[in-house]
Amino acid sequence: MTIKAYGAHAADRALEPIDITRRTPGAHDVQIAIAYCGVCHSDIHQVRSEWGGTLYPCVPGHEIVGRVSALGAHVSGVQVGDLVGVGCIVDSCKHCEDCDEGLENYCDHMVGTYNAPTPDAPGYTLGGYSQQIVVHERYVLRIRHPEAQLAAVAPLLCAGITTYSPLRHWKVGPGQKVGVVGIGGLGHMGIKLAHAMGAHVVAFTTSESKREAAKLLGADEVVVSRHAEEMAAHAKSFDFILNTVAAPHDLDAFLTLLKRDGTMTLVGAPATPHPSPNVFNLIMKRRSLAGSMIGGIPETQEMLDFCAEHGIVSDIEMIQMDEINTAYERMLKGDVKYRFVIDCASLA
């Protein structure tokens, strides 16, 4: 099947219309007519080869929602017409320890939704800035939100699970003080989720313009991290900090805000390394610095169900497909509250 998509032909080229092909659904495949696709900062890193190794043409997009449009003969659990989602994973080995535990995100053979090896043409995966996608049933998520919220559900497939998984792993809950650093696509979901889990949430932003807005997301307090005296008021007080910042920055400024035994988990994946933190800021209070990558498929379903139950969706700005290059420039300036979502009907 040949379909319309948007992709880049080189790291320094803008995204433009491109025709791509999708495989005919196999016995365990689900074909999805994509309604909306969220725009993750990882899409920018990848399409511009900031992490290296990008294959061109590159079609990004891993926050995919839509309706099942065709099914393989042996698919169970979804039917044509169902609302479904696909996140950052479209395949994995299915038999290693990680896959057995539902942690496909840590499988050594995880296949990302774009730029990962596949037998399908052109030899690597092409993402959700497109009209249709074909995915093995294991990696297809059920959406239980009302259909009217579908576009705002899309960012949960990456921004939602990438923040939900570490909040759960480090057992965030009532009685805890939790920081979320960087109020972009990931960070705004981190605030909503940590708030729904019952924590006292402090948002850290570099943008004065987000000071009041972050409170509407569920932050109990907001700190503009450029102001040293505001930072100092929170020294040694946090149980957990989730750091979503997409650029290298001073980690010590946040490590010193952790109390004894506190953890800061990095999910932001900047193109160049952070300056090394001062080891004494870890040693002195037995603090931990950790990382986390998206989440497994069962936990992604758990997150979607948690969000449906708590009425949680992303705050989005809808764009047409041909507005994507402007959207990237605005994201790099921090100028989006808080996630762009592409109306994929605009590809027609």
Binding site for Zn ion (CB under 5 A): 40, 42, 158
User: Binding to ligand NAP (CB under 6 A): which residues in 19-48?
Assistant: 40-42, 45
**Torsion angle defined by CA atoms of residues 140, 144, 147 and 151, in that order, rounded to the nearest 10 degrees:** -60
- C-beta of 158 vs 289, nearer to Zn ion: 158
* Contact call for residue 210 and ligand NAP (CB under 6 A): yes
Q: What's the min distance (Å) between Cβ of 68 and ligand NAP?
A: 25
The 10 Å Cβ neighbour count of residue 209 is 11
* Contact call for residue 61 and ligand NAP (CB under 6 A): no
| Dist CA 320 CA 327 (whole Å) | 10
131 contact choice in ligand NAP, Zn ion, none (CB below 5 to 8 Å, kind-dependent): none
| Dist CA 130 CA 137 (whole Å) | 19
Structure-token pair, residue 79? 């039917």
- C-beta of 161 vs 258, nearer to ligand NAP: 161
52: left (phi over 0), alpha (psi -120 to 50) or beta: left
Which residue pairs from 50-56 have beta carbons closer than 8 angstroms and sit at least 24 positions apart in sequence? Answer: 50/271, 51/269, 51/271, 53/115, 54/11, 54/115, 55/115, 55/122, 55/123, 55/124, 56/7, 56/8, 56/9, 56/10, 56/11
The DSSP result for 214-245, as a single string, is HHHTT-SEEEETT-HHHHHTTTT-EEEEEE--
121 contact choice in ligand NAP, Zn ion, none (CB below 5 to 8 Å, kind-dependent): none
Q: Binding segment for ligand NAP among 63-71, 93-101, 107-115, 290-298 (CB under 6 A)?
A: 290-298
* Contact call for residue 289 and ligand NAP (CB under 6 A): no
46 contact choice in Zn ion, ligand NAP, none (CB below 5 to 8 Å, kind-dependent): none
167 contact choice in Zn ion, ligand NAP, none (CB below 5 to 8 Å, kind-dependent): none
| Dist CA 228 CA 305 (whole Å) | 39
Interface map 247-286 toward ligand NAP (x if CB under 6 A): x-x-----------------xxxx----------------
31 contact choice in Zn ion, ligand NAP, none (CB below 5 to 8 Å, kind-dependent): none
Which residues, 6 or more positions from 234, have their beta carbon under 8 angstroms from its beta carbon? 179, 202, 223, 257
CB contact at 8 A, 123 and 60: no
CB contact at 8 A, 135 and 61: no
Q: What's the min distance (Å) between Cβ of 132 and ligand NAP?
A: 23
* Contact call for residue 324 and ligand NAP (CB under 6 A): no
- C-beta of 22 vs 339, nearer to ligand NAP: 339
Q: What's the min distance (Å) between Cβ of 223 and ligand NAP?
A: 10
Q: What's the min distance (Å) between Cβ of 225 and Zn ion?
A: 23
| Dist CA 308 CA 116 (whole Å) | 30
Q: What's the min distance (Å) between Cβ of 40 and Zn ion?
A: 3
268 contact choice in Zn ion, ligand NAP, none (CB below 5 to 8 Å, kind-dependent): ligand NAP
Question: Looking at 191, 331, 342, 344, which residue binds ligand NAP (CB under 6 A)?
Answer: 331
17: left (phi over 0), alpha (psi -120 to 50) or beta: beta
Q: Which residue is nearest to Zn ion (CB)?
A: 40
* Contact call for residue 158 and ligand NAP (CB under 6 A): yes
263 contact choice in ligand NAP, Zn ion, none (CB below 5 to 8 Å, kind-dependent): none
259: closest CA among 276, 240, 280, 233? 240
- C-beta of 92 vs 281, nearer to Zn ion: 92
| Dist CA 190 CA 180 (whole Å) | 7
Residues that bind ligand NAP (CB under 6 A): 40-42, 45, 158-159, 162, 182-187, 205-207, 210, 244-247, 249, 267-270, 292-294, 331, 334
